[in-house]
Structure 1
Amino acid sequence: MGILEDLKNRILIADGAMGTLLYSYGIDRCFEELNISKPDEVQRIHQAYVQAGADIIQTNTYGANFIKLSRYGLEDEAKQINEKAVRLARAAAGSRYVLGTIGGIRTFNKNAYSLHDIKRSFREQLYLLLNEEPDGLLLETYYDLEEAREVLKIARKETKLPIILNVSMHEEGVLQDGTPLSEGLTLLANLGADVVGINCRLGPYHMIHALEEVPLLKDTYLSVYPNSSLPSLVEGRLVYETDDEYFRNSAIEFRNQGARVIGGCCGTTPNHIRAMAEAVKGLLPITEKQVKIRKQAAAPIEHHRTEPPLNELANEKRSIIVELDPPKQLSFQKFLDAAQQLKATGIDALTLADNSLATPRISNVACGTLLKQELDIRSLIHITCRDRNLIGLQSHLMGLDTLGLCDVLAITGDPSKIGDFPGATSVYDLTSFDLISLIKQFNEGLSYSGKPLGKKTNFSVAAAFNPNVRHLDKAVKRIEKKVNCGADYFISQPVYSEEQLINIHNETKHLDTPIYIGVMPLTSSRNAEFIHHEIPGIKLSDTIREKMALAGSDKQKQTEEGLAIARSLLDAACDLFNGIYLITPFLRSDLTSNLTHYIQEKETKFSING
């Protein structure tokens, strides 16, 4: 008799955590490698779950795939680790079922690995496990529904063995992309999973509530593997605390919601499994249930902009935005004066960097808010992934929407080691690609976790484009990827070559997404040399450097030459692009004001002559 035959008439108890137990013993490294280096320890845990009453034992292979093992330099040991895992579980299980376990890879950093690489890694581990002839497969902890769908298709094509697939939720009753849990599980059942359910992240309370909204499926059973509790941090170590009696009562509730496979995830121990096994012993599975209808969330409130997005402006007319760095010191008046001067020229927006070059400045959100309140200036707020984790980024976006700052630039951010505090930590929970996707999800009224925000935001999302690279076609591929993530328009690094402007136009003219071309006036020969040699991604031509050098130490000549070079670049840029991005050096708003007037005069002459 196999698992599926057994499940027709009884509830099966699965085992609990492996990694948490090993961690509690003071082992804090690749747990899957212990199949080789400490097999007795792994087998002892399997045996403890068998003695506790588990009917199903899973292999210690959650992260035994190429991608995860490569973090430890163990990718070449994948075959041995997986083979050994099945044999250890089999030796301990006796007559119990052994499931080959494969864990999900995607987390919040969705773009860390391509779906192609994930499928290749999954397929390799799948073959290794199937060669050892387990009784079935357990695919668990899939936060990303797309990943779950794709790996299930592969597994179902390659084997007729029973497949249990557990997804994970950040929020009760909803998956990461906003799909209701019941819809997600139904989809996976239709793709061939024999058992579908939930595991990890949440404890019994929230999982019971989530299952109340899930109907019994016609030809597919339900599973549930809760965490023992939310972990606490005790002397630098994660500790889970939940008593066995709570799990005993929870097991009855799981059974009442239709679960036929009941196990444990993070923090659970043989004691938790024993309590659940005793609780459901002799109970038959339910065949009918009253499904709680999920209360429909009110449609997210539309958020209407009072001004057209900058990408629309650049599609319709000449649009000029100007970057003005927030001050490094708390004296603010000079910044306001510069902003006032730039407003008078009729620019479309001021762009405010987010601690550029990893150097702390007054918050660009504070600057943007004051500019809006005091000068009625539109701000484009840069957001880096460097300084905020996922929690901070989501909070930051909610704050920007609350303040009505709807124009944002999503960038990775310069690494902290190049700034004033080289010992500071760079976070990088997300990449710029992930951040763009997250902002677009906000525009659908959904938080990262899939939970409704109560309203739709209306962010217009800019992305960075660095054309100052050896292979421009690769940079264009990168912006195409950002377009796919949802970027509305692009802002380029400063360009110092008319020939390069033509190349950029030729390589990007197939895109419908507008580009604001960056132009930054040089202030001196020293400034030119610094930019050429020390600013990542920017190189000046020998001709430009020579022109700035010939200006000598005369500040007036330096300014005139810097402006002359910038005007020449603008002549070429304006012929090819509608969007112009002027970067103000050292709060020299007189320079960018001069160039703004120059562009506008060109436009006026063109209109008259045209």
Structure 2
Amino acid sequence: MKLLDRLQNEVLTADGAIGTLLYSYGIDFCYEELNVEKPEIIEKIHREYIKAGADIIQTNTYSANAIKLARYGLEDRALELNKAAVRIAKKAAAPEQRFVLGTIGGIRGIGKSSAPLPDIEEAIRQQAEAILSEDPDGLLFETYYDFEELTTILQFIRKMTDLPVITQVSMHEPGILQNGLSLNHALKQLEALGADIVGVNCRLGPYHTIQAFEEVTLPEKAFLSAYPNASLLDVEDGRIVYESEADYFGQAAVRLRNAGVRLIGGCCGTTPKHIEAAKKALAGLAPITEKKVIPKKPITIKESIPPIVPPLSEQVKKERTIIVELDTPKHLDTTTYIEGAKALHEAGIAAITMADNSLASPRVSNLAMGSILKMKHHIRPLVHITCRDRNLIGLQSHLMGLHALGLHDILAITGDPTKVGDFPGATSVYDVSSMELIQLIKQLNEGISFSGKPFKQKANFSVAAAFNPNVRVLDRAVKRLEKKIECGADYFITQPVFTKEKIIEVYEATKHLPTPIFLGIMPLTSSRNAEFLHHEVPGIKLSDETLARMKAYEHDKEASALEGVRIAKELIDTAAELFNGIYIITPFMRYEMSIELIHYIEELDRKKNERGITHVQTISN
């Protein structure tokens, strides 16, 4: 009898974790490589689960795709490892006539930067072809956090085979995916796309998995599956452990069956003892054919609080808008900083931008300083956020704090690696890319947390993205801008530009974009400053002419600063003709240089207005 025929009238038990047992054996290399190098170990695990009562076992192929195998330099062996895995499982299953599922694990986590979707498609297609060539009883797609990834794969896999296909999503929060979609709706979509069995696995233990299924209705054609973890994980002496008694897992299996689940297995932390307990507890129980679901009252998400002033992205479309970067100090004396911020504010700028530990060197928190400027001095802060210093927990917490403080203007950037800063041995986190961070911030604006949980209120962040025009091929950089716009960027702030030709080139290359651009201008302070920026700071290049002009005053500090301002003014002459947004980057707390440039821009605009000249800046820039 085939798998789906059995599920018509039975609740079946699947196996548990393979990786957990291999981890307990002290194996710390690619588990899938064992399919060829130590097949007897994998066969032994399969037989242990079969002895425990598993009706279904899965192949040791969770990460056997070219993308994940590349971590070990084994991407060229994907075909070999997958085919070997199916043979081992079928050999172990044959004497007891158990079903074998070819397992294909998810690649993406909470972010999408791990691999582009076309690359994922190719890797999974290759893996599926290898598995299907060995004639398994079905395919199991498990641990998919990214719903787009799973639905994309399911659609082309469904065209490749008529074998049963099981699709299992993973959740950070019970009953809801990380994109905010409810589990019930997600499973219905998977059923509509052709999945024969739909369910969940990993991340959550039995308690929360059962809770997730409380609001899941019985599918019309498909069956429900659940492979919970043994429990929530813990760490003891540097090793991951799961505290869960087998009997408790058996009781949970019955509760899952009562919720309509027909295929019950285990994920992380589960062992043959857990599966044996589930098998015994489910013995003699028929599947549930009717289920009454009482939907929980939906959580009301309040609208965001409208900002008192319009977002910078809207303001700059209508009028000249100047923002100035003034980095917070590297020490605890903030007196000069506050004086500079107040002076810039009085000069008429729209906002003060504050880097997030620029060049990977610790500074006074821009969240704290931004709050002080806003609350005490009524100065609008534009806070930078890097992906370098905080993991996902820290990023969401940081953003929640910004929202609570009413700091809604943000620049989302990758951040300089720690190796360039004061603590080269520190860890760079980079849980997400800058594009993914923009998407997550926009998700908060919809009232949905990073995990998919309702946030009760929508955030109201206006998100800027970085643009480095100082590249050899500007078209590629513009393509990145277009991708950032797709991710939700409201406007762009550029790295400093040091030639008129580059300013014009940037304008021509970006005038088609629907988002405004603040063009970066940074006055040079000395010849040494110019040389350092040109040779050592990523993303900044100066012209030979500029370097020579600064070199001419290398022994006169005052004259050097005056020449740096003259160069900046010449650049502003061109920038102000083409861009409404000007971004002045204050060097070394020399805010008086920025103030002089602000007044220069204002004087330019005043003269144009007197002559009745309309600014040529298009609405797109």
Alignment TM class, shorter chain as reference: over 0.9
1:465 aligns with 2:464: no
Residue deviations 1:421-455, cap 9 Å, x none? 11111011111011000000000000011101110
2:158 pairs, out of 156, 159, 180, with 156
Q: Name 2:599's counterpart in structure 1.
A: 597
Q: Name 2:92's counterpart in structure 1.
A: 92
Matches within 5 A, 1:64-143: 64-94=64-94, 95-143=97-145
Q: Name 1:7's counterpart in structure 2.
A: 7
- Alignment root-mean-square deviation, CA: 0.8
Distance in 2 of aligned mates of 1:169 and 1:90: 31
User: How far off its partner does 1:244 sit?
Assistant: 0.9
Look up the SS of the partner of 1:198 in the other structure.
Answer: strand
User: How far off its partner does 1:286 sit?
Assistant: 1.1
Q: Name 1:331's counterpart in structure 2.
A: 333
> More deviation in 549-558 or 313-322?
549-558
| Aligned residues with identical type, % of pairs | 58
User: How far off its partner does 1:301 sit?
Assistant: 3.3
Q: Name 1:217's counterpart in structure 2.
A: 219
Distance in 2 of aligned mates of 1:482 and 1:337: 35
Q: Name 1:299's counterpart in structure 2.
A: 301
Q: Name 1:44's counterpart in structure 2.
A: 44
Q: Name 1:383's counterpart in structure 2.
A: 385
Look up the SS of the partner of 2:376 in the other structure.
Answer: helix
Matches within 5 A, 1:516-531: 516-531=518-533
> More deviation in 484-493 or 297-306?
297-306
User: How far off its partner does 1:206 sit?
Assistant: 0.8
Q: Which amino acid aligns with 2:13?
A: I
Look up the SS of the partner of 2:176 in the other structure.
Answer: coil
Q: Name 2:243's counterpart in structure 1.
A: 241
2:513 pairs, out of 496, 511, 514, with 511
User: How far off its partner does 1:38 sit?
Assistant: 1.3
Look up the SS of the partner of 1:593 in the other structure.
Answer: helix
User: How far off its partner does 1:296 sit?
Assistant: 0.8
Q: Name 2:615's counterpart in structure 1.
A: none
Residues 202 and 537 of structure 1: CA distance in aligned 2, closer, same or farther (over 3 Å): same
Matches within 5 A, 1:572-583: 572-583=574-585
Distance in 1 of aligned mates of 2:502 and 2:148: 40
Q: Name 1:33's counterpart in structure 2.
A: 33
Look up the SS of the partner of 2:588 in the other structure.
Answer: helix
Distance in 1 of aligned mates of 2:275 and 2:330: 57
Distance in 2 of aligned mates of 1:222 and 1:539: 59
Distance in 2 of aligned mates of 1:38 and 1:395: 45
1:443 pairs, out of 445, 452, 465, with 445
User: How far off its partner does 1:300 sit?
Assistant: 2.7
Distance in 2 of aligned mates of 1:278 and 1:292: 30
Distance in 2 of aligned mates of 1:300 and 1:115: 34
User: How far off its partner does 1:144 sit?
Assistant: 1.0
Q: Which amino acid aligns with 2:565?
A: L
User: How far off its partner does 1:553 sit?
Assistant: 2.0
Consecutive unaligned residues of structure 2, counting only runs of 5 or more, are 613-621
| TM-score normalized with structure 2 length | 0.97
Distance in 1 of aligned mates of 2:206 and 2:305: 37
Residue deviations 1:529-564, cap 9 Å, x none? 111111111111111111111124222211211111
Q: Is the 8 A contact 1:314 1:579 kept in 2?
A: yes
Q: Which amino acid aligns with 1:40?
A: E
| TM-score normalized with structure 1 length | 0.99
Q: Name 1:422's counterpart in structure 2.
A: 424
1:474 aligns with 2:455: no
Consecutive unaligned residues of structure 1, counting only runs of 5 or more, are none
Q: Is the 8 A contact 2:196 2:223 kept in 1?
A: yes
Distance in 2 of aligned mates of 1:527 and 1:431: 30
Look up the SS of the partner of 1:490 in the other structure.
Answer: strand
Matches within 5 A, 1:217-366: 217-366=219-368
Distance in 2 of aligned mates of 1:148 and 1:438: 19
Q: Which amino acid aligns with 1:230?
A: L
Look up the SS of the partner of 1:109 in the other structure.
Answer: coil
User: How far off its partner does 1:311 sit?
Assistant: 0.6
Q: Name 2:616's counterpart in structure 1.
A: none
Q: Is the 8 A contact 1:58 1:99 kept in 2?
A: yes
Q: Is the 8 A contact 1:303 1:455 kept in 2?
A: no
Q: Is the 8 A contact 2:79 2:126 kept in 1?
A: no
Q: Name 2:559's counterpart in structure 1.
A: 557
Q: Name 1:400's counterpart in structure 2.
A: 402
Residue deviations 1:196-230, cap 9 Å, x none? 00100001111111111011111110000000011
Distance in 1 of aligned mates of 2:174 and 2:558: 65
